Structure 1
Amino acid sequence: MNQDSNQTALLWIVAAGFFMQALDTTIVNTALPSIAHSMGVRPLVMQWAIVAYTLTMAMLTPASGWLADRFGTRRVYFAAILIFVLGSLCCAGAHTLGQLVIARVLQGIGGSMLLPIGRLAVLRSVSSEQYVSALAMISVAGQVGPIVGPTLGGWFVEAISWHWIFLINVPIGAVGLFAVHRYLPRATSTAAPRFDLAGCALISLCMIAFSLAVDAPAQSHRTAWSAGLFALGIASALAYVPYARGRANPLFKLSLFGEPNFSVGLIGNLVCRIGSSAVPFLVPLLLQLELGYTPLHSGLMMLPAALAGALAKRWIAPLIRRYGYDTFLLVNTLIVGAAIVSFALITRTTPVVVALIVLAVFGAANSMQFAAMNSVTLKGLSHEDAGGGNSLFSMVQMLAMGLGVSIGGSLVELFSDQWQSALLGFRMSFVCVGGITLAAALIFRRLEEAPMVISSVKHATASGR
């Protein structure tokens, strides 16, 4: 095969891996009540099937680049697909929630390497002039996953069984494994610098402690245990500071935080994404458990949000060019937060059209929010800090997704127990997570005005989430 054919094959391989990862973050949501019924547990405790996946990806993402340098991109990408497929098979074969959580961790190990290694393979194989266009092609797969995921998950539950939401990855992965073996160029390992295992352990401990602390009060009412986990998370984060100062090549250089917009964008991303990440988890549960929707119907209800999000991406650059990052993010954050709060008003008597409009507004605003937050956070970093900054940013994204699900599920249980009404529990939870997102607007007010770099917006849009 000639070089152009090899590059085309590479893009399709990476796109397939991105599709599997993106599909798996959304296809599970509409199936959670059915999986919970099958395993004999309450639907809300199924949140750990999502948190385990996102948290594992967050912890292992920084190691992906080092693994590619140490063992070769082709070999690591093949292993990532294989682990992801094996994890999917284990998920389909799980009989208890504990087994499912362990299987999701295995899936997360593979998923953590799919997109970063895929991007790295593309970066090393295409010219700089073609890179953004190549990422744009790959991002289509990332957009298709969330669009078809909820509906496909609902259809599998009704037409076959929930097991197929995981088994669908097997044929896709099998084709991917063959393609990697056939088309990816053989790359030898290089003299990779020593991986900062201790630094990664401190950051991972911080994320795990915070995630468990959020879930502890609602699950066991052990406030002291939750407070202890929060303290452990803060202590591990603080311990990383002197550790990084004393190391020549730490996992994340402290100089990253010398770029003001990176710090503001990172914190704003974390806070904003907590609210928006709770929505894909809570809305299908509300529709099925309280409003009487079938799994397929609830999946179809999520379709306008995904479609509106894909269509809205073209508006981002013109709007930021006209109003600037600070004004755009301030107003758009308020729209996202208000849309989340408005979900509390959806009842059995709410016209379907009204609910679809609210979901579409949320999807469009949320999609633009992600792209704008991505570009404003990373655009000011130097070339030397870009890799570390992007890796840390990816970790925060995954952490926020897990925290959003944990906080959303915990709030529903807390309010449901307090007022003896699950519907009221959902309503108050939407108000709270929407309020968290609205609070991010105050953070984005601290952004320093800077000229918009169109290429950074296009890159952030092409990169997906």
Structure 2
Amino acid sequence: MTSQSSAAPHTGSGAGSGAGSGGRKGFVLVAAVYLLGLFIGALDTGIVTPARTVIQGDLGISEQLSVWIITIYTLAYAAAIPVMGKLADRSGRKYVYLASILLFGVGSLLCGLAQDVGSFGMLLVARAIQAVGGGGIVPVATAEFGTAFPPEKRGLALGLVGGVYGIANIFGASAGSLILSIFGQSNWQFIFYVNVPICAFIVVAGWFVLPNTKAEHVKPIDGLGIAVLVVMVLALLYGLKNLDFFNLGTSLTSTDVWPFLLGFVVLLPLFVLIERRAADPVLNLSYFRNRDIVVTLAISVISGVILMGIIFIPQFAENVLKIPAGSGGYVVIVLAAFAGVGAPVSGKLIDRFGVKVVLGFGLAASAAGALFLALVATQFPNLFTLVVSLVFIGIGMGFTIGTPLNYMMLAKTPLEESNSALATLSLVRSVGTAVAPAVLVAFIAHAGMAVPDRVMNVLPDPPAGPTMAQLASREGQDSGGGLPADLQQLMEGSDVTTIVGNVKKLAKTEIEQAAASSGMPTEAVDAAEQQYLSEIDQHASDIENTFQGTLDEGFRGAFLLVGTCSLVGLALLAFYREDKKSKKKPEKQPRNQA
């Protein structure tokens, strides 16, 4: 690979020479294998988003539990990143990358088989296996692109990486909806099976074309530091994940929260001590003494929150447009298109105008899109307001996620630490991606809890005898809750297209139970039932609008938080010092001759 041969801190062995002597053709093949891996790695985060509510209904889990389909991925991904980064330095990027692809493919296969078994637990374990593979795909491929190009072309190279990653991450939602449409919502397992043949192809092709780029001087791997860091990351993210931000005081006393947060605090000084004594620390503590790197890492956390805001857009689109669950991913293709254009353009603009201008524009656009969603689209739910929001968010994503932050991190760290520096960046971003879904879904879950009462208030008066409201009140008192369990469960499994049908189903059951207890003649029961169901149909618009408006209150809170985080990131960017004139340049080395 010609451009690789000029990178001082890394050498190509084996296949590397072939890539170098093969000229441009060899470079294109290497780039294609890395970019294809990046594509499927990013695709799988988005592809799950429209299927999340479908899987939730099929496996009979709650809204908050369903978010673990995504959160478990970010948790395991965060834990794997430092390990994979160091292994890539030691054993070479080729073997770590291909092993990661293999793990990702095996995890995808097991995710699909989890539907046949009907096990949510198996699905979570399989998603974790996928994530361990993902922890080697993105950082290793990004490091290869970030170091194989000279500094003046680095923005363009990382822009290409960011474009592929951004398109796949966001287009994944549309791909998920397409797969659900083709195979049916009852066969959601195929959203995972699509990865298997692609992974097999990458492993075979990569074995023959990828150079094994690795560090020239390899120090002993920091096994103890890696182990402690993994435990710390999992403890911190799991504890934060279980925090109820609407009931912070009580949740802090939960055994699912405080022991894990305390464990992180206790292990932190031990980890610092281990890293200070390590020959090659897994996490370079000097990063946190550099203001520019700290700013970069802080904005990286915020970028993770922005990225996770996207996972709720398909559900929001379904609610706004009143379309069936699982089909909202199609709408996100608007966002993917603008993000896909923005990412490579942002790389070119960085080379010309500098990273602060580009990232600042991206954060501002992300804030504008999220706030427009929260303040306008929820008040005036229609296709136009939704698309306007997605255009802004898409542009913001293209100019924010990936390219600028990778560029900033590489600009402030030595070239020989490229793998570890980008792994640190990804690790810190995973804090945002892990915590954000738990916080954002809390807004939606709290709004969903208000749905049954509000829907009951717009229903027509029921027929003579014990009314549905009276039955609900009596049964709620008996159970110590507010509404009957069956009503609550039915409402939780509803969307804007099924709410009227579910209300009619519930009304029919309640009328028959009331009639049985009062001894009413069958003919009278049938007549009363038909009359009442007809009245519900006449109130269908009110029921749907009430359901839609109540859920939109939850989406409003979630998107307001995303918009606020974007503005905070914009403020932090002011503290980053960019020196355009003193860019690091690799030491000159003779190019390989064909």
TM above 0.5, one fold?
yes
Q: Structure 2 residue aligned with 1:380, among 400, 412, 434?
A: 412
Flag the structure with higher helix content.
Answer: 1
Deviates more, 1:321-330 or 1:163-172: 321-330
Q: Is the 8 A contact 1:14 1:138 kept in 2?
A: no
Counterpart position of 2:251 = 222
1:3-402 alignment runs, 5 A limit = 3-4=22-23, 5-68=25-88, 70-94=90-114, 95-119=118-142, 132=154, 141-160=164-183, 161-184=187-210, 192-218=218-244, 222-225=251-254, 226-270=257-301, 272-288=302-318, 292-295=322-325, 297-313=327-343, 316=346, 329=359, 332-344=362-374, 345-347=376-378, 350-370=381-401, 371-402=403-434
Tell me the distance in 1 between the aligned counterparts of 2:361 and 2:162.
26
Quote the offset at 1:163 in angstroms: 1.2
**1:316 and 1:127, CA in 2 relative to 1: closer, same or farther beyond 3 A?**
closer
Amino acid of the residue matched to residue 42 of structure 2?
A: A
Counterpart position of 1:443 = 572
Quote the offset at 1:332 in angstroms: 4.6
Deviates more, 1:405-414 or 1:163-172: 405-414
Asked which structure has the greater CA Rg, the reply is 2
Quote the offset at 1:53 in angstroms: 1.3
Counterpart position of 1:432 = 561
Tell me the distance in 1 between the aligned counterparts of 2:66 and 2:210.
38
* 1:343-387 deviation line (CA, Å, top 9, x unaligned): 224249523122101111111023212333333344222335544
Tell me the distance in 2 between the aligned counterparts of 1:362 and 1:380.
28
Quote the offset at 1:56 in angstroms: 1.4
Aligned length: 454
Amino acid of the residue matched to residue 313 of structure 2?
A: V
Quote the offset at 1:105 in angstroms: 0.5
Tell me the distance in 2 between the aligned counterparts of 1:293 and 1:54.
29
Quote the offset at 1:122 in angstroms: 6.6
Q: Is the 8 A contact 2:26 2:209 kept in 1?
A: yes
Amino acid of the residue matched to residue 54 of structure 1?
A: T
Q: Is the 8 A contact 1:321 1:452 kept in 2?
A: no
Tell me the distance in 1 between the aligned counterparts of 2:230 and 2:132.
14
Tell me the distance in 2 between the aligned counterparts of 1:320 and 1:118.
20
Tell me the distance in 1 between the aligned counterparts of 2:363 and 2:141.
31
Quote the offset at 1:33 in angstroms: 1.1
Structure 2 SS opposite 1:60: helix
Quote the offset at 1:137 in angstroms: 5.4
Structure 1 SS opposite 2:381: coil
Quote the offset at 1:68 in angstroms: 3.6
Tell me the distance in 2 between the aligned counterparts of 1:3 and 1:385.
27
Amino acid of the residue matched to residue 33 of structure 1?
A: T
Amino acid of the residue matched to residue 330 of structure 2?
A: L
Tell me the distance in 2 between the aligned counterparts of 1:452 and 1:406.
42
1:411 aligns with 2:443: yes
* 1:83-132 deviation line (CA, Å, top 9, x unaligned): 111100100011222111100001111121123344566789x6759985
Tell me the distance in 2 between the aligned counterparts of 1:166 and 1:341.
33
Q: 5+ residue gaps in structure 2?
A: 1-17, 454-549, 586-594
* 1:35-82 deviation line (CA, Å, top 9, x unaligned): 111111124422111111122122112222433455454443332222
Quote the offset at 1:149 in angstroms: 1.2
Tell me the distance in 2 between the aligned counterparts of 1:58 and 1:454.
30
Tell me the distance in 1 between the aligned counterparts of 2:300 and 2:582.
19
Tell me the distance in 2 between the aligned counterparts of 1:180 and 1:323.
36
Identity of aligned residues (%): 22
Give the TM-score, by structure 1 length: 0.84
Tell me the distance in 2 between the aligned counterparts of 1:127 and 1:286.
41
Quote the offset at 1:289 in angstroms: 5.4
Quote the offset at 1:30 in angstroms: 1.0
Q: 5+ residue gaps in structure 1?
A: 457-465
Amino acid of the residue matched to residue 566 of structure 2?
A: T
Q: What RMSD, in angstroms, separates the aligned Cα atoms of the two structures?
A: 3.5
Q: Is the 8 A contact 2:306 2:565 kept in 1?
A: no
* 1:404-459 deviation line (CA, Å, top 9, x unaligned): 22221233324544797443222222223332332233322322353377999xxx
**1:38 and 1:290, CA in 2 relative to 1: closer, same or farther beyond 3 A?**
farther
